Amino acid sequence: MHGVLAVEANSIVKRYGAITALDGASLALPKGKVTALVGDNGAGKSSLVKVISGVVRPDSGTLRVGGEKVEIANPRMARGCGIHTVFQDLALVGPLDVVENCFLGDEVYWRMGPVKLPFLNRFHMAQVTRQALDRLDATTVQDLSQPVEVLSGGQRQTVAIARAVRQEARLLILDEPTAALGVKQATQVLKAVEQLRDGGTAILIISHNLREVFAVSDYVAVMLHGRVVRTFDRRETTEEEVVSAIVGLDRNDPINSVQREASR
């Protein structure tokens, strides 16, 4: 994997009692590239994302952001490092409009010198929201005063991504971003992902849709039994090769080689 790394996870271990969710998982995420994380249910994808995004703390292993070792104890610390995650529930508030959701918990108020006034600076917030949407080339979200509950699934996903863009995400993690969307809406979201990648943001997509993975990703990382067993350059692999790695038939995985020898 080439390029400057935005975020790197090294030898991450996470156990829940007798269950080992992550067994020395390592993943490198370069700037300006889309990495897809794939694997069967229970392979460890969600656990690795939760560690990187600060939802859970690993039992061992290290995280590096921009080459510097960091301790990420909670999601706020992750966001402070520029790591933003859009989970499947999007964390949007339906009755609030597009601008209010983009600034949720980070509202901007008018000031009179050093004194913060009890009035939202709606003009500034709308301007920044529009700039974030423009970076995504998101032409489908025009009326920023609409409550997000009236938007389509694709539009809501775009608003959630725009919120991360506004916060200057170094790494954007998208959990099944098109799972509940139709073809047209999914295309809109993937277009936004490509725009963000081209702007230099590292993107990690968790997806079960291999057709989508091959359409948008630069690298495909495969998880199995709590480890990242292979990372493929999407241009140099096939869906069949990726599927073989997902189900544990990849002959280049040293763990599988040991297991095959032991079974003889």
Q: What is the pLDDT of residues 21-74, one digit of tens each?
A: 999 999 999 999 999 999 999 999 999 999 999 999 999 999 999 999 999 999
Which pLDDT band, with edges at 50, 70 and 90, does 264 fall under? Answer: very low
In the chain, what are the domain boundaries? 26-263
Structure tokens that stand for 91 in this block: 């964390």
Query: Per-residue pLDDT for 255 more than 60?
Result: no
Q: Would you say residue 93 has pLDDT above 50?
A: yes
Buried b (16+ CB within 10 A) or exposed e, 36-69: bbbbeeebbbbbbbbbbbbbbebeebebebeeee
Question: What is the dihedral sign for C-alpha 30, 31, 36, 39?
Answer: positive
What percent of the chain shows pLDDT beyond 70? 94
Alpha-carbon span 178 to 209, nearest angstrom: 9
Mean pLDDT (whole number) for 119-142? 93
Residue 261 pLDDT: 42
Other Cβ atoms less than 10 A from the Cβ of 118: the count is 6
Three-state DSSP string of the chain: CCCCEEEEEEEEEEEECCEEEEEEEEEEEECCCEEEEECCCCCCHHHHHHHHCCCCCCCEEEEEECCEEECCCCHHHHHHCCEEEECCCCCCCCCCEHHHHHCCCCCCEEEECCEEEEEECHHHHHHHHHHHHHHCCCCCCCCCCCEHHHCCHHHHHHHHHHHHHHCCCCEEEEECCCCCCCHHHHHHHHHHHHHHHHCCCEEEEECCCHHHHHHHCCEEEEEECCEEEEEEEHHHCCHHHHHHHHCCCCCCCHHHHHHHHHHC
Residue 260 has pLDDT above 50, yes or no: no
- What is the per-residue pLDDT for 180? 77
Confidence category of residue 249, pLDDT binned at 50, 70, 90: confident
Instruction: For residue 254, name the pLDDT band (cuts at 50, 70, 90).
Output: low
- What was the pLDDT predicted at 251? 62
pLDDT band at 1 (very low <50, low <70, confident <90, very high): low
Question: Which of 91-100, 222-231, 251-260 shows the lowest mean pLDDT across its residues?
Answer: 251-260
pLDDT-derived band at 262 (thresholds 50, 70, 90) equals very low
Q: Are strands 5-16 and 19-30 parallel, antiparallel or unpaired?
A: antiparallel
Residue 12's pLDDT is 98
Residue 157: name the closest of 180, 183, 139 by CA.
180
pLDDT, tens digit (0-9, with 9 covering 90-100), for 160-179: 999 999 998 999 999 999 88
Of 184 and 124, more confident: 124
Q: What is the pLDDT averaged over residues 106-135?
A: 93
At residue 83, the pLDDT reads: 97
Burial class (CB in 10 A: 0-12, 13-18, 19+), 10: middle
pLDDT at residue 243 is higher than 50? yes
What's the mean pLDDT when you consider all of the chain? 91
- Residue 157 and residue 264: Cα distance in Å, rounded? 50
Residue 89 confidence class, pLDDT cut points 50, 70, 90: confident
Structure tokens at 141: 């979200």
Specify the fold of 26-263: Rossmann fold (3.40.50)
Residue of higher predicted confidence among 181 and 252 = 181
Dihedral (C-alpha) 68, 70, 76, 78: value to the nearest 10 degrees?
60
